[in-house]
Amino acid sequence: MGIRIRQLREKKEFSQEYLANICDIPKNQIGRIERAEINTTIKTIVKIANALEIEPKELFNFKS
């Protein structure tokens, strides 16, 4: 899922810092999620999906 978040973030041309600010979470947390160093909550997944203007389920679409 972290790779998918990174792909979608980069497609939107968002920096990790910008995404973190929109989501109101620490920048280092975005990096750690993208590198699969930590698990995250559904609440954070929803925040990230909303910031990326997608449905949360799209974060689990690994075919793209």
Cα 38 from Cα 31, distance rounded (Å)? 10
Q: Does position 64 have pLDDT exceeding 90, yes or no?
A: no
Q: Does position 62 have pLDDT exceeding 90, yes or no?
A: no
Predicted pLDDT at 60:
87
pLDDT digits over 2-51, tens only?
Answer: 999 999 999 999 999 999 999 999 999 999 999 999 999 999 999 999 99
CA 9 vs. chain centroid, Å, equals: 7
Cα 22 from Cα 61, distance rounded (Å)? 22
Dihedral Cα 7, 55, 22, 3, nearest 10 deg: -20
CB neighbourhood size of 59 (10 A):
19
